[in-house]
Structure 1
């Protein structure tokens, strides 16, 4: 029921004609542009595997990871409005290390994979509404959508025994963000709401927030 509720909310945000105003098809299904970037995550992912371990924490590594985004140009609810929306399709790679402070009898481990998310985003924006050679803008945004995770990992016990696990599945994702655009460049800070993914007897819960830097073509 929770996933169904988030899916319905995403459809409403993607198609505000049902609740705000009538939009033409070319507005709803306008072609997206490509954004390439890198991101640094902060926070932890908790992983549980039935019969093996519970709530083992993995922390984000110090490296930056690539992010590829298909993003629609923003649509504003009126000519004078600063409120608008767009949709994003993000694909990102991540790699995390075992949290040594967890104290569950492991000495090392890692968790890595990729995630793909579809996120309708509602925003309020200041300054220029478009991207150009001299344009700049700032906005706050609220996004909620669907996330697919495919990852695997391993844990090494103090005794040296190695436990491998993997997880793939769907969950919901949501974030609150602040984004600055200058020309075609973007700097964004997004605080993620915890996401939960169940699959293959492995449960993954995370609340990774990200600082990203990208270029939009």
Structure 2
């Protein structure tokens, strides 16, 4: 996992290079737009606790969760370039169930919580550069940044006391994605690199890819 952390850190620093080069003509403090939407997660979160359980998977349920994102207006590297970047702050809620096919001896369990991520995103885009009532565009993107994750969970064994645990902390996050915009609607698919958060004796490894639908204001 240390290697994954180094990879994510290196990617984050790489993403900041074009940002630093653009400071002269575009402020980093651009006013963001607001995106409200819903997201469906796919994948799992693995939880470990010293002396009690290790790498226990919690899988995403069929439910969708609310998503709130602040997205800065994009900056393109030239007037004709399709390459650009933006920065976003995104917060979402998750509620997952214990993967009872894991054969760890647990009867059931639940893991819920939220995460907030600050992510610089490098993209290549086709179509209109701006959002409007007749605009459409699509892009591929790569993002790397830092996220805060809070998770509250429990595991149940047959005839044994319930195991409760919680964890919070910071970790690196990275993703590859594809996004399409039609008017002010946005649909996105993101494949997430695992993020690990260690909090005292509890460790959470977050690896949830997502499909999201949102509306930009």
TM bin (shorter chain): over 0.9
Deviation at 1:200, TM superposition (A): 3.0
| Structure 2: distance between partners of 1:55 and 1:13 | 31
Deviation at 1:161, TM superposition (A): 2.2
* Structure-to-structure mapping, 1:51-130, within 5 angstroms: 51-130=51-130
Unpaired runs of at least 5, structure 1: none
Local SS of the residue matching 2:91:
strand
Deviation at 1:207, TM superposition (A): 1.4
Unpaired runs of at least 5, structure 2: none
Provide TM-score, normalisation by structure 1.
0.93
Q: Does 1:13 align with 2:36?
A: no
Residue of structure 1 equivalent to 2:194? 194
Provide TM-score, normalisation by structure 2.
0.93
Note closer, same or farther for the CA distance 1:8–1:44 as it changes in structure 2 (3 Å cut): closer
| Structure 2: distance between partners of 1:61 and 1:17 | 37
Q: Does 1:137 align with 2:137?
A: yes
| Structure 2: distance between partners of 1:43 and 1:98 | 12
| Structure 2: distance between partners of 1:148 and 1:22 | 27
| Structure 1: distance between partners of 2:57 and 2:11 | 30
Residue of structure 2 equivalent to 1:212? 212
- After superposition, the CA RMSD in angstroms is 1.8
Residue of structure 1 equivalent to 2:147? 147
| Structure 1: distance between partners of 2:211 and 2:22 | 34
